[in-house]
Amino acid sequence: MARKAPSKARKSRVPSVLTNPFVLALAAVAAVFAVAMGVAALTGAWPGGGERAAVQQAAVQHSSTQPAAPAPTPPAPVPTVPAAKAEPQAPARQSGEEPAPLPATQPGEAAADPHLAQKPAATVVAMLPPPAPPAVPPVKAPSGNAALWRKNALPSSPPPGRPMIAIVVDDMGLDRKRSTRMAGLHGPLTLSWLPYARDLPAQARAARANGHELMLHMPMEPSVHADPGPNALLVSLDKGEVMRRFRAALDSFDGYVGVNNHMGSRFTADSDALAPVLSELHRRGLLWLDSRTTPRSAGLPIAQQLKMPWIGRDIFLDNQETVAAVRAQLAKVEQLAKRQGYAVAIGHPHDATIDALSSWLPEVQKRGFVLVPVSAVVAARHAGG
């Protein structure tokens, strides 16, 4: 028996629409378009997506720089600028000064708007700062009859038109015997006492009771190799030590009209060193007698600048310690007094000086001169206060 041939397998029928080439092309295009839209939305390339991404990124950065506020606390209101009112303005910055630092943001404060922080400072009215107070407040010296040098001055009323002579004797107090002899002469003399002399207050009081005027003879550094004595004023000292020594000397006794320098050719030539000393002297209402131990002394220019009472030495009497030499110098004093109306001479308690003065003092007024304390010359000629 012959076998039947196998029948052909049945083919599954596909819808004709899926096999249509045009439909397949449209589907492919739609798939590609959908994928492109998804990618664009994720990367921010879609219109409006970049702005949203930037806003999101700025929000993330802003939230990372600001501390998170507690949930229950409402956001702080933005502070408003108060209306202008009269109050001190910030001082203008001087040339060479560093600008003042801006105040740091306190914890919990909202950060200032950067646009407001960068506003130009033209809206702030600048003012010059008030003058800085000096390290040591200046003390105005008393004037007129209130000045200490006038209170302590030996009374003197020289007749007008007669030349005045003031004899100043330095180095008083160390040699008690010769100092006592000098103070025993008929005056008036002006006796200048070293601050380190023994029993200085008692010696000075005895001399004042005998009709002589008093001064302080302040040791200062010379330019030559010589010892000016203890606690002398030296250019190598700092200002604080100079003033400490000077004030201690000023307080060693009282009743004097002023100060002149013992030696001091180096110290008085240094204006920076001498200026505070004369300022203190002026503050106390005392006069300055420049012994002029150097032609480069800055004492008189500084005193004139301070407008304090001052005078300068004209003649030294006893550079040579003989009676004849002292008498010759006294003759020069008289000649100078005739020419300029006054003369200031300085001597020392040497035997030759004491002997020469003891014979000269009783006779000088007979020759038309008037013997006066140094304060009388200052009052008549160079008083600055």
pLDDT, tens digit, 9 for 90 and up, residues 196-249: 999 999 999 999 999 999 999 999 999 999 999 999 999 999 999 999 999 999
Q: Is 142 helix (H, G, I), strand (E, B) or coil?
A: coil
| Domain region containing 268 | 163-382
Point out the residues of the chain with pLDDT beneath 50.
1-11, 45-126, 128-137, 139
**The tokens of 274 are what?**
């001498």
Say if 65 falls within a structural domain. no
**183 touches 206 (CB < 8 A):** yes
d(CA 373, CA 371): 7
Say if 12 falls within a structural domain. no
**Domain total of the chain:** 1
The pLDDT of residue 52: 42
Say if 49 falls within a structural domain. no
| Whole-number Cα distances in Å, 155 to 60, 144, 373, 376 | 93, 15, 9, 8
Q: Among 257, 242, 150, 262, which residue's Cα sits nearest to residue 195?
A: 262
Q: Among 158, 230, 156, which residue's Cα sits nearest to residue 190?
A: 156
Q: Find all residues with CB under 8 Å of 51, minimum gap 6, and list them.
A: none
d(CA 131, CA 299): 29
| Consecutive H or E run containing 50 | helix 49-65
Q: Among 251, 274, 276, which residue's Cα sits nearest to residue 134?
A: 276
pLDDT, tens digit, 9 for 90 and up, residues 83-129: 333 333 333 333 333 333 333 333 333 333 334 344 444 444 445 44
Say if 210 falls within a structural domain. yes
Say if 37 falls within a structural domain. no
pTM of the model: 0.65
The pLDDT of residue 27: 73
CATH number at residue 310: 3.20.20.370
Q: Is 218 helix (H, G, I), strand (E, B) or coil?
A: strand
In sequence order, what are the beta bridge partners of 219? 262
